[in-house]
Chain A
Amino acid sequence: MDRNVMEEIKNEIAANKIVIYMKGTKEMPRCGFSAAAVEVLRTYGVPFKDINVLEDPEKWQAIKQHSDWPTIPQIYIGGEFVGGSDIVREMHAKGELEPIVRKATGTS
């Protein structure tokens, strides 16, 4: 029982170009805010890793600390915390998100 959740999070955001910590899965989101963020990420046609915090309360607490951010979903791109649902939607609408996604994933 010496789980290091912070370490797991660091590994997840290092190993995956885009990670979303969310309620539910990308196939079946369990919250409108998570669903909306997944919807945005899908538009870019790049792979992203989903982590369901509803199945892992310990990680749910840890990710809030890691990002110093109180709510779910939380999106990491290229190892950096980008924000929650409102932020990715707003950045997407303004055309600010795509360059970050393209740069992190090496796509165009």
Chain B
Amino acid sequence: MFDAEELRRRVAEALPDSRITIRDMVGDGDHYEMVVVSAAFEGKNTLERHRLVYAPLKGVLGGSLHALALKTLAPSEAA
């Protein structure tokens, strides 16, 4: 179990400009789908973008946060 608000808080702190949408896929607080829109992704490939989002989740993701389906968009792609 991992709280969705804690997930949001951590990512928002790491990427202050980001727009974050989180969906609990099965309603068990364990499998989230998250879309993050941030200017920090501009000019970065998918791997680099995912590393930016994973950084504040170190020690949590793969542990108490089992599954996170992640989509990362630069503002120009989210229009």
> Do B57 and A70 have beta carbons less than 8 Å apart?
yes
User: Which of B47, B57, B71 touches A83 (beta carbons < 8 Å)?
Assistant: B47
Count of inter-chain pairs, beta carbons less than 8 A = 34
> Do B69 and A86 have beta carbons less than 8 Å apart?
yes
Give the residues in chain A near B69, CB-CB below 8 Å.
33, 85-86
> Do B50 and A83 have beta carbons less than 8 Å apart?
yes
Q: How far is the CB of A13 from chain B (nearest CB, A)?
A: 16
> Do A86 and B71 have beta carbons less than 8 Å apart?
yes
The main secondary structure of chain B at its interface with chain A is mixed
Please measure, in the bound complex, the distance between the C-alpha atom of A68 and the C-alpha atom of B55, giving whole angstroms: 10
Chain A's closest residue to B70 (CB) is: A86
State how many residues of chain B have any CB contact under 8 Å with chain A: 15
Give the residues in chain A near B62, CB-CB below 8 Å.
64, 70-72
Query: Which of B46, B51, B69 counts the most A-chain CB atoms under 10 A from its CB?
Result: B46
Please measure, in the bound complex, the distance between the C-alpha atom of A90 and the C-alpha atom of B47, giving whole angstroms: 10
Please measure, in the bound complex, the distance between the C-alpha atom of A70 and the C-alpha atom of B50, giving whole angstroms: 11
Provided the pairs A33-B67, A70-B54 are in contact, do residues A90 and B61 lie with their beta carbons within 8 angstroms? Answer: no
Provided the pairs A33-B67, A71-B62, A90-B71 are in contact, do residues A84 and B50 lie with their beta carbons within 8 angstroms? Answer: yes
- In chain B, residues 41-79, which have Cβ atoms closer than 8 Å to a Cβ of chain A? 46-47, 50-51, 54, 57-58, 61-63, 67-71
Please measure, in the bound complex, the distance between the C-alpha atom of A69 and the C-alpha atom of B46, giving whole angstroms: 14
Please measure, in the bound complex, the distance between the C-alpha atom of A106 and the C-alpha atom of B58, giving whole angstroms: 36
10 smallest CB-CB distances across A and B, nearest first, come from A70-B62, A70-B61, A71-B62, A83-B47, A87-B46, A86-B70, A90-B46, A87-B47, A86-B69, A87-B50
